[in-house]
A and B are shown apart, each in its own frame.
Chain A
Amino acid sequence: MTTRERALTDGFKAMAPMLLALVPFGLVLGVTMAGTVVGAGWGFATSFIIFAGAAQLATVQLLNDGTALAVVVLTALVINIRHLMYSAALAPAFRDFPPRWRAALPYLLTDQTFAVSTLRFERATDPVYRRWFFFGTGVALWVPWQLSTLTGVVLGAQIPESLGLGFAIPLVFLVLLIPVVQTRPGLIAAIVGGGVAVLASGAPYGLGLVVGAVAGIAAGVVAESVGRR
């Protein structure tokens, strides 16, 4: 087997367990999007234009609430700003890739591809292996994401609103929330972020979410520096 084939296969294999969580999320997201003003078509389009579940969910939800467009964009970008961190962590490994790969591969950079790749790159140092491995994890995530959200938007049109499926959104976020509140500053960031978002929910242009997020981030930073003393 060539390095390329081995790297691709390893990438697929490493991503397989992640699909257990990804596919249900994609289905629920699709169903939810179909029920908003965004609709099935543009809802599904967010899967390849944005390709970031939490941001897609927040985007369609805020658009459905009639939030000002600038605030929708701002909120989604705040949610996605964590990619800066991932990009910085992977940059040294990507420096050895050809320019075209360096431009294209970041499109596939997600929470999952980052987690799996940084782990693998610790022992695999061959740049050819590395880029094909990353590409493999990205494709293994991208294809099921498109298919599950597509299935969701198709099914979504047939599911009555009275079932209360909208509740699936906070359920998904609850699951994502558990691992990031295991530290004290993380927990404080969440409590303040959520609390302020509730208090500020009446804010104009749907700014409540951004205000809550900024307050929560600030609280986390303060809690961390206080805890260090």
Chain B
Amino acid sequence: MMATSSYNWAVRRHFADPQHAGKLQDDYELTLVADVSESEHGAHIVISAGIRGGVIAGMAYRVWGCPHLIAALECVCTTFEGQPVAGLENFDSADITQELSVPVEKTGRILLLEDALATLWAKSAGTEDQG
């Protein structure tokens, strides 16, 4: 049995009051959905991006995972809303990992985010059917 690890202020704030958790509310020209999970570390992400005019107009997620993962999803959604879809291609989790002080042993869970965004990008580029 173990106690919770330390969480910085940003993790605690995002955990307690996640702004992007739930469903996308508006209608968009295109809605992309990525559903990724990683049983070894215990994480499941369903992330959605609403596209309008080639821009990510809204993002939302649902998650089963640790506080760092919840906070990381919040950071991702905040970062990409209003950005061109093309930005998804080059997502690097390093900045988020640093901002949230993610412990090294949780790197695998955060990398799951890269998989999720890569899936969104692939779907936007039409290289994969909508899931």
- Do A and B make up one complex? no
B interface residue numbers (CB < 8 A to A): none
A interface residue numbers (CB < 8 A to B): none
